[in-house]
Chain A
Amino acid sequence: MDTYYNPEDLSKFSSISEGAPDLWKKFSEWYGAVFAEGALTEREKSLIALAVAHAVQCPYCIDAYTQACFEKGSNREQMTEAVHVASAIKGGAALIHGVQMRNAAEKIGM
């Protein structure tokens, strides 16, 4: 193995069922139900998944949900905006902790 992440591993996802087939079955059923059309469309769910994939920085998910977004009818502009939403939340989440820094500085400073 040259790298920890190998694109070909994406298609081997189901091999994780070995050792715990019942848990994999439950996960698969739940996962399928999550992404089925409901109060949100499949397209909206794929865009959310793409954004979350960037937030958790999962290259497998980015690969899979880039394709899924196209196949649900999203375009590059929409997908890029979704990534910006994830980035804004990630950036905002870091920045809001600056208040903690200021509180700590206030406490120990003179």
Chain B
Amino acid sequence: MDVHKDNAAAAEAANPFEASLAGSRLFPLMSSCISTLQVNMGRVCNQSCRHCHVEAGPGRTEVISRLTLDACLRILKDRRYPIVDITGGAPEMSPHYRWFVQECRRVKCHVKTRTNLTILLEEGYKDLPGFFAANRVEVIASLPYYLENETDRQRGQGVFEASIEALKALNARGYGMEDGLALNLVYNPCGAFLPPSQRSITEDFRRELMKRHGIRFTNLFTITNMPIGRFLKFLKDSGNLNRYMDRLKTSYNPAAAANVMCRQTLSVGWDGSLFDCDFNQMLGLKCDHGAPDHISGFKGPELESRRIVTGVHCYGCTAGAGSSCTGAVAD
């Protein structure tokens, strides 16, 4: 009897993504450890991007509490997870942001922060490049394209110009040039298509950003747009949903599936809920299958080897070269 074949048949009925996993002998998908604690500081943002899976914006009010961040710090210290990845919204807009970064450094964590760049030009945030450098924070900055039209089409009028100014401010602090001051850019497609190869688009960004603006960066991460949040609405409104989902499904890559980020990541929501990834967080799919689903009930060993909650959106992380918060995961 072929157990994997039987598993595939059972999974197909319930969840086509799990059937794909079974076909590549990865069902059920299990986490292998927690190397990154991803903390979502909330949904407040100074931008309202068309692709945003969080549906973040200036009108949102959800913000993480000091109590939840205290719990995160205790976990980081007790379990010695090496990396904390701070995201949002615009995470810098949380009133506890700077304190949390400093405390993470105090417990010897490598800190990554997501930034939309334009926040670094707003009053009250202009000193952040210096703060990042002083705390040796790895900066992961959104820049969907090296051309103004494509970027503004997705992120709003004037965003490209402001982003370039912010990148120059980061370069002036040594980001993208000095050891320990990594400036990583995030490319995501400006439409209903998969990202190009990370290697080839990195060369384009490096050449064009240097030639046009004198900007340097460390690495570029390609991230696939997830069919959730505002991007899902765009897919529906533009009549692209079925075609995009077909594209994701037919591009399923077992090598990418084996390396999906949720296998080494735990995502903490602004209200302390626990998720396998930031995308599940936006869909309200909490950790399950017996693992604790709130930070108040955190149990390290159970969460470190938990079964991942999946859905059809997971095809977004396994299509082609795969996608994660640190870019492609397969060749």
Which residues from chain A sit less than 8 Å from chain B, CB to CB?
11, 41, 43, 67, 70-73, 75-77
Contact = CB atoms under 8 A, between A and B. Distances in A.
Contacts of B255: none
B8 to A, nearest CB: 23
A75 B197 contact: no
A71 B224 CA distance: 11
Contact of A11 (B150, B195, B246): B246
B242 to A, nearest CB: 9
B149 A76 contact: yes
Given A11-B246, A41-B200, A75 B194 contact: no
B204 A73 contact: yes
Q: For chain A, what secondary structure do more than half of its interface residues adopt (helix, strand, loop), or is it mixed?
A: helix
Contact of A72 (B145, B149, B196, B247): B196
A70 B150 contact: no
26 contacts: A41-B200, A43-B196, A43-B200, A67-B193, A67-B247, A70-B189, A70-B191, A70-B193, A70-B196, A71-B193, A71-B194, A71-B195, A71-B196, A72-B196, A72-B197, A72-B200, A73-B196, A73-B200, A73-B201, A73-B204, A75-B145, A75-B147, A75-B150, A76-B149, A76-B150, A77-B147
A81 to B, nearest CB: 14
Contacts of B193: 67, 70-71
Given A41-B200, A70-B191, 20 more contacts: A11-B246, A43-B196, A43-B200, A70-B189, A70-B193, A70-B196, A71-B193, A71-B195, A71-B196, A72-B196, A72-B197, A72-B200, A73-B196, A73-B197, A73-B200, A73-B201, A75-B147, A75-B150, A76-B150, A77-B147
Interface residues of B, number: 16
Interface of B: 145, 147, 149-150, 189, 191, 193-197, 200-201, 204, 246-247
Nearest to A63: B243
- What 4 pairs across the A-B complex have the smallest Cβ distances? A73-B196, A70-B193, A73-B201, A71-B194
A72 B194 CA distance: 9
Contacts of B194: 71
A72 B200 CA distance: 8
Nearest to B187: A73
Contacts of A76: 149-150
A70 B196 CA distance: 7
A43 B247 CA distance: 19
Contacts of A75: 145, 147, 150
A59 B276 CA distance: 42
